[in-house]
Amino acid sequence: MLDHVIRFSLTHRLLVLTLGVIITAYGLFTVSQMPIDVFPDLNRPTVTIMTEAVGMAPEEVETLVTLPLETVLNGLPGVERVRSTTGIGLSVIYVEFGWNTEIYRNRQLVAEKLQLAKEKLPQGVTPVMGPIASIMGEIQLIGLSSPSGEVSALDLRTFADWTIRPRLLSVPGVAQVIAIGGGVKQYQILLSAEKIQKNQLPLEEIEKALSKISLNTTGGYIDLEKKEFLIRNIGTIKSEEDILNSVVGLHLGRPVFVRDIAEVKLGPQIKRGDGSVNGKPSVILSIQKQPGSNTVELTEKIDAALKELEKSLPKGAVFHGDLFKQAHFIEAAVDNVKEALRDGTVLVFIVLFMFLLNFRTTAITLTAIPLSLLVTVIVFHFFELSVNTMTLGGLAVAIGELVDDAIVDVENVFRRLKENKTLQNPLSTLQVVYNASSEVRNSIVFATIIVVLVFLPLFYMSGIEGRLFIPLGVAYIVSLIASLLVSLTITPVLCSFLLAKDKLADHQDGKLVKVLKNWDRKLLVKSLDHPKIVFGIAGTLFVLSLLLIPFMGRDFLPKFNEGTATVNIMAQPGISLDESNKLGTQAEEILLKIPEVKSVARRTGRAELDEHAEGVHYSEIDVDFKEGGRSRDIVLSEMREKLESISGVFSNIGQPISHRLDHLLSGVRAQIAIKVFGPDLNTLRSKASEIYKALDGTKGLVDLQIEQQVLIPQVKIQLLRDEAGQFGLVAGELSETLEKALNGEVIAQVLDQQKTFNVYMRFDDKSRANLDLIKQTILKIMPDGRKVTLEKVADVFESQGPNQINRENAQRRIVVSANSSGRDLDSLVSEVQDRIQKQVPVPEGYFIQYGGQFESQKSASRLILLLGILSLIGIFIVLYAHFKSSFIAVQIMLNIPMALIGSLVAIYLSDRVFSIATMVAFITLCGIASRNGIMMISHYLHLMKYEGEEFTKEMVIRGSLERLVPVLMTALTAILGLLPLVLAKGAPGKEILHPVAVVIVGGLLSSTLLDMFVTPTVFFRFGRKSAESNLISKEIELKPTHH
Amino acid sequence: MKRILFLTVLIFSFGIANAHEGHDKTPGLQSTRPGGTIKGNANIYLELVSDKDGVKLYPMNHDKEPIPLAGVQMEGTMTIPRKNKSQVLKFTAQDDHFAAKVDAKGAYRYDLEASVTHGGKTEKIKFSVEPQQ
pLDDT in tens, A102-122: 888 999 999 999 988 888 888
Q: Residue B132 — pLDDT band, cuts 50, 70, 90?
A: low
Residue B23: the pLDDT is 32
Q: Average pLDDT for residues A1012-1023, to the nearest whole number?
A: 89
Residue scoring higher pLDDT (A138 or A303): A303
Residue B48 within any structural domain of the chain: yes
Q: Tell me the chain B residues in contact with residue A798 when contact means C-beta distances shorter than 8 Å.
A: 128
Q: Do A894 and B5 touch (CB under 8 A)?
A: yes
Residue B106 within any structural domain of the chain: yes
Length of chain A as a residue count: 1043
Q: Residue A554 — pLDDT band, cuts 50, 70, 90?
A: low
Q: Tell me the chain B residues in contact with residue A704 when contact means C-beta distances shorter than 8 Å.
A: 31
Residue B92 within any structural domain of the chain: yes
3-class DSSP state of A167: helix
Mean pLDDT of chain A: 84
pLDDT in tens, A420-457: 877 788 888 888 888 888 877 777 787 788 888 877 77
Closest to A94 (Cα-Cα) out of A44, A166, A40, A164: A44
A564-571: strand order across its sheet: A280-281, A273-277, A597-605, A618-625, A564-571, A649-654
Could you give the residue ranges of the DSSP H alpha helices within A34-176? 58-61, 67-73, 103-118, 153-159, 165-169
Residue B4: the pLDDT is 45
The C-alpha torsion from A39 through A43 and A44 to A50, rounded to 10°, is 150
Residue B14 within any structural domain of the chain: no
Residue A750: the pLDDT is 81
Q: Give the C-alpha separation, A886 to A877, whole Å.
A: 9
Q: Tell me the chain A residues in contact with residue B97 when contact means C-beta distances shorter than 8 Å.
A: none
Residue scoring higher pLDDT (B39 or A162): A162
In this predicted structure, the answer to whether residue A132 has a pLDDT above a threshold of 90 is no
Whole-number percent of chain A with pLDDT over 90: 18
Residue A367: the pLDDT is 87
**Nearest CB to B26; choose among A550, A670, A795:** A670
Residue A654, beta-bridge partner list = A566
Residue A761, beta-bridge partner list = A189, A745
Residues 6+ apart with CB under 8 A from A861: A916, A919, B16, B17
Residue scoring higher pLDDT (A993 or A577): A577
Is residue A981 within 8 A of residue A394, CB to CB? The reply is no
Q: Give the C-alpha separation, A184 to A11, whole Å.
A: 76
In this predicted structure, the answer to whether residue A1037 has a pLDDT above a threshold of 50 is no
Residue A507: the pLDDT is 54
Residue scoring higher pLDDT (A834 or A502): A834
Is residue A84 within 8 A of residue A95, CB to CB? The reply is no
CA A913 to chain centre: 20
pLDDT in tens, B93-117: 988 889 999 988 888 889 999 999 9
Count CB-CB contacts under 10 A for residue A391: 26
ipTM over 0.95: no
Residue A798, beta-bridge partner list = A715
CB pairs under 8 A between A and B: 167
Q: Tell me the chain B residues in contact with residue A819 when contact means C-beta distances shorter than 8 Å.
A: 21, 23-26
Q: Tell me the chain B residues in contact with residue A669 when contact means C-beta distances shorter than 8 Å.
A: 26-28
Best mutation target, B10, B13, B23, B128, to test chain A (most A CBs within 10 A): B23
Q: Do B29 and A706 touch (CB under 8 A)?
A: yes
Is residue A710 within 8 angstroms of chain B, CB to CB? yes
In this predicted structure, the answer to whether residue A1008 has a pLDDT above a threshold of 60 is yes
Nearest CA in chain B to A617: B28
First to last CA, chain B: 69
Nearest CA in chain B to A680: B133
Q: Do B1 and A887 touch (CB under 8 A)?
A: yes
Whole-number percent of chain A with pLDDT over 70: 94
Q: Average pLDDT for residues A264-268, to the nearest whole number?
A: 90
Q: Average pLDDT for residues B76-92, to the nearest whole number?
A: 86
**Nearest CB to A554; choose among B8, B19, B31:** B19
Could you give the residue ranges of the DSSP H alpha helices within A101-253? 103-118, 153-159, 165-169, 193-199, 203-210, 240-244
Q: Give the C-alpha separation, A681 to A684, whole Å.
A: 5
CA distances from A370 to A22, A402, A446 (A): 13, 9, 23
Is residue A533 within 8 A of residue A378, CB to CB? The reply is no
pLDDT in tens, A48-84: 888 888 778 888 899 899 999 988 888 888 888 888 8
Nearest CA in chain A to B11: A546
Is residue A87 within 8 A of residue A804, CB to CB? The reply is yes
Is residue A682 within 8 angstroms of chain B, CB to CB? yes
Q: Do B36 and A552 touch (CB under 8 A)?
A: no
Residue A822: the pLDDT is 65
Q: Residue A1035 — pLDDT band, cuts 50, 70, 90?
A: very low
Residue B15 within any structural domain of the chain: no
Q: What is the CATH number for B50?
A: 2.60.40.10
pLDDT in tens, A353-403: 877 777 888 888 888 888 888 988 898 888 877 777 788 778 877 877 788
- Pick the range with the lowest mean pLDDT from A475-479, A779-783, A952-956: A779-783
Could you give the residue ranges of the DSSP H alpha helices within A489-610? 490-498, 502-505, 511-529, 531-546, 577-592
Residue scoring higher pLDDT (A246 or A606): A246
Judged by phi (left if over 0) then psi (alpha if -120 to 50, else beta), residue A698 lies in beta
Q: Give the C-alpha separation, A645 to A626, whole Å.
A: 24
Residue A778: the pLDDT is 74
Residue scoring higher pLDDT (A468 or A1033): A468
Length of chain B as a residue count: 133
Is residue A90 within 8 A of residue A613, CB to CB? The reply is yes
Sign of CA dihedral A574, A575, A576, A581: negative
Residue B18 within any structural domain of the chain: no
Residue A283, beta-bridge partner list = A144
Residue type, A126: T
- Pick the range with the lowest mean pLDDT from A407-411, A498-502, A1038-1042: A1038-1042
**Nearest CB to B19; choose among A552, A685, A711:** A552
Residue A423: the pLDDT is 79
In this predicted structure, the answer to whether residue A656 has a pLDDT above a threshold of 80 is no
Q: Tell me the chain A residues in contact with residue B23 when contact means C-beta distances shorter than 8 Å.
A: 671, 702-703, 819-821
Is residue A705 within 8 A of residue A689, CB to CB? The reply is no
Q: Average pLDDT for residues A728-750, to the nearest whole number?
A: 81
Please state the three-class secondary structure of A350-399 as a single string: HHHHHHHCCHHHHHHHHCHHHHHHHHHHHHHHHCCCCECHHHHHHHHHHH
Residue A915: the pLDDT is 76
Is residue A683 within 8 angstroms of chain B, CB to CB? yes
Closest to A286 (Cα-Cα) out of A664, A623, A651, A609: A609
* Angle (nearest 5°) at CA A289 between A288 and A294: 145
Q: Do A689 and B32 touch (CB under 8 A)?
A: yes
Residue A135: the pLDDT is 62
Is residue A782 within 8 angstroms of chain B, CB to CB? no
3-class DSSP state of A101: coil
Q: Average pLDDT for residues A813-819, to the nearest whole number?
A: 85
Mean pLDDT of chain B: 74
The C-alpha torsion from A424 through A425 and A429 to A430, rounded to 10°, is -150
Q: Tell me the chain A residues in contact with residue B22 when contact means C-beta distances shorter than 8 Å.
A: 553-555, 913
Residue B71 within any structural domain of the chain: yes
Is residue A889 within 8 A of residue A873, CB to CB? The reply is no
Residue B3: the pLDDT is 47
Q: Do B35 and A688 touch (CB under 8 A)?
A: yes
* Angle (nearest 5°) at CA A676 between A674 and A682: 130
Nearest CA in chain B to A550: B19
Is residue A546 within 8 angstroms of chain B, CB to CB? yes
Residue A19: the pLDDT is 92
Question: How close, in Å, is residue B37 to chain A by CA atoms?
Answer: 7
The C-alpha torsion from A1017 through A1019 and A1023 to A1024, rounded to 10°, is -70
In this predicted structure, the answer to whether residue A171 has a pLDDT above a threshold of 70 is yes
Confidence (pTM): 0.72
How is residue A57 annotated by DSSP?
-
Is residue A356 within 8 A of residue A1012, CB to CB? The reply is no
The domain of B110 spans: 33-129
pLDDT in tens, A963-983: 888 788 878 888 888 888 888
Long-range contacts of A303-307 (CB under 8 A, 24+ apart): A305/A167, A305/A168, A305/A171, A306/A142, A306/A164, A306/A168
Q: Tell me the chain B residues in contact with residue A683 when contact means C-beta distances shorter than 8 Å.
A: 51
Q: What's the structural domain count of chain B?
A: 1
β A185-191/A755-763 pair status: parallel
Q: Average pLDDT for residues A854-872, to the nearest whole number?
A: 78
* Angle (nearest 5°) at CA A622 between A619 and A626: 150
Q: Average pLDDT for residues A715-724, to the nearest whole number?
A: 86
In this predicted structure, the answer to whether residue A162 has a pLDDT above a threshold of 80 is yes
Is residue A191 within 8 angstroms of chain B, CB to CB? no
Q: Do B16 and A568 touch (CB under 8 A)?
A: no
Long-range contacts of A246-250 (CB under 8 A, 24+ apart): A246/A209, A246/A210, A246/A213, A247/A209, A248/A201, A248/A205, A248/A206, A248/A209, A248/A210, A249/A199, A249/A201, A249/A205, A249/A206, A249/A209
Q: Do A705 and B31 touch (CB under 8 A)?
A: yes
Q: Do A685 and B20 touch (CB under 8 A)?
A: no
Residue A556: the pLDDT is 64
Q: Tell me the chain A residues in contact with residue B18 when contact means C-beta distances shorter than 8 Å.
A: 549-550, 824, 826
**Nearest CB to A913; choose among B11, B22, B37:** B22
pLDDT in tens, A569-579: 888 777 889 99
Residue A714: the pLDDT is 83
Q: Do B29 and A689 touch (CB under 8 A)?
A: no
Is residue A542 within 8 angstroms of chain B, CB to CB? yes
Judged by phi (left if over 0) then psi (alpha if -120 to 50, else beta), residue A449 lies in alpha
Q: Give the C-alpha separation, A614 to A85, whole Å.
A: 9
In this predicted structure, the answer to whether residue A669 has a pLDDT above a threshold of 70 is no
Is residue A345 within 8 A of residue A327, CB to CB? The reply is no
Residue B57 within any structural domain of the chain: yes
Best mutation target, B14, B20, B60, to test chain A (most A CBs within 10 A): B20
Q: Residue B35 — pLDDT band, cuts 50, 70, 90?
A: low
Residue A1042: the pLDDT is 47
